[in-house]
Amino acid sequence: MYESDKIMMKNLQFNRLVSWIALSVFSFLFVSCEKEKLAPKIFTDTEIAKLPDKTVFKLGETPDFSGLSVSEVYTDNTRKPTSHYKTEWTGNIFKKGSSNVTVQARDREVTFQITFSDELIETGLPVLYIETENEKAVDSKDEYVNASLIIKKEGETISENSLRIKGRGNATWSYPKKPYKLKLDTKTSILGMEEAKDWVLLANYCDKTLLRTSIAFQLSRLMHFPWTPDDQFVEVVLNGEYLGNYQITEAIEQGSNRIDIPEQGFIFERDGYYEQEPKHFVSALRGYGYSFKNPDPEDDLSDDQWHYIKNYMDEFESVLASETFADPQNGYRRYIDELSFVRWFIFQNILANMDTNVYLVKADMNDSKLSMGPVWDFEWSIGIGWYDGVRPRPADYYVWQSNAFYYDRLLQDPQFKAKVKELWNSIAVTDDILQHIEETSQLIAKSQELNFKRWDIMNERVSVGGIPMGSYEKEVECDRQFFINHMNWLAGEISNY
């Protein structure tokens, strides 16, 4: 082979080698690029792309996470919106503060924070915002706690006051929703009611209508009791926690705006818890225990006053037990205001009130007589209390008739029964009470929904209450029907007196 041919052959081989190398490199780069191009994106995490439209809520408001946007995150740092997620939140809508909401998507979790302010959602009722000093708990019936009070209506502040607050009640204090006593630093009008320092917050925990006390006070006014506590339905927020629907009422006490008797006049109570009171007495014949509202048993009640009222009650019971108890001059009428006893008996029977507070008043240590009232405590009335059957309860029963206080003996006097019949025939309260039930249930319609969301007892039997009806509307209608039935039954009974 000529030398030129050898050179040409080597050049050809070299060119082939270069072409092969170039082709290999190109193929490698092409395959690598293709591999990179075809590599799958891998899901790595979940993130909040956009917070909900609202993250701050009022007390009682159900959190709404509208506007929340969630994305899936991938290995190539791309984001993909997803609707396949769920939110979990187990916080307390009735207490101020912040808590986390958990968002779950594809086994990943992410959180964001929501806050509840100390402002309550609107229910149409005034709101009492009570803040204790250093947010100290109100857990005693004996010791007051210093506090401040702001009352708002439709979001506007209408009054601010300093006060003290403590628990109150006997059996009612044992329930989860507590009643309270307020003592303002100065005499103040609350929500248009007469000025005073002392006020009561009734919880009405057992009452699934929340109406019994309101109905009773309205009946007391219609029957012209000398004094009936004024009252208003309100919402209560204590230290940033919603406690529920309450009734703020005037306290039972002596005063020109309350029970209008002299400062040294007597307001006392037949009291099942009398032994817990600093001063009390037990009547000689009946063995009834009595405690004092006025004069103040700790500061003002003298020994002479104590002995006077005890002796007075003992003499009354002795005369009532005698064969001449009904004598017009020397019988029981020497000791009691007969009309007040008649009115109280009718009142309690209209409500079928099975377990009430029995208050009595005597204006002085001279010639005044014993009168019944004011009325208080209606927890087990209008067809509930110690009954296990179908509701509305059969309406054919008396209360406070036999073996109850002094009425077992008083009703043995034909003249007393004639007075009962006479007063019964002079009153016409049915339509007014039915209208009050309708109007008041509408007034608190939104409030009761929030209250029973806070205290979920609508399907529970509480204490000696009746079998639950299952809804607020059914509870109200049941009580309304019982009231009608019971009034009809009483009319037939008393017509035979």
Tens of pLDDT, residue by residue over 419-431, are 999 999 999 999 9
Q: Which two tokens stand for residue 65?
A: 């996470």
More confident residue, 18 or 383: 383
Counting residues of the chain whose pLDDT is more than 70, the rounded percentage is 92
pLDDT of residue 9: 55
**Is 336:316 a contact under the CB 8 Å cutoff?**
yes
| Ranges of each domain in the chain | 43-118, 127-250, 266-494
H helical segments located in 85-224: 212-222
User: Helix (H, G, I), strand (E, B), or coil: what is residue 362?
Assistant: strand
Residues 66 and 54: their CA atoms lie apart, in Å, by 8
Give the predicted TM-score (pTM) of the model.
0.90
Residue 38 pLDDT > 70: no
Task: Tell me how crowded residue 44 is: count the other CB atoms within 10 A of its CB.
Answer: 12
pLDDT of residue 215: 98
pLDDT of residue 8: 54
pLDDT of residue 52: 97
CA angle 352, 358, 361 (to 5 degrees): 135
pLDDT of residue 39: 60
Residue 35 pLDDT > 60: no
For all residues of the chain together, what is the average pLDDT?
93
Sequence-ordered strand ranges (E) for 6-85: 43-50, 56-59, 69-74, 79-82
Closest to 109 (Cα-Cα) out of 47, 52, 44, 67: 47
At 145, the amino acid letter reads V
pLDDT of residue 24: 55
Residue 234 is inside which H or E element, if any?
A: strand 231-238
pLDDT tens track for 216-261: 999 999 999 999 999 999 999 999 999 999 999 999 999 999 999 9
Span 262-280, mean pLDDT?
Answer: 93
> May I ask the CATH architecture of the domain 43-118?
Sandwich (2.60)
Span 152-162, mean pLDDT?
Answer: 96
**Is 201:129 a contact under the CB 8 Å cutoff?**
no
More confident residue, 154 or 14: 154
Q: Which two tokens stand for residue 420?
A: 């009962």
pLDDT of residue 36: 47
Residues 345 and 409: their CA atoms lie apart, in Å, by 13
Closest to 162 (Cα-Cα) out of 179, 149, 180: 149
Residue 477 pLDDT > 60: yes
Half-sphere exposure of 111 toward its Cβ, with a 13 Å CA cutoff?
10
**Residue 62 pLDDT grade (very low, low, confident, very high; cuts 50, 70, 90):** very high
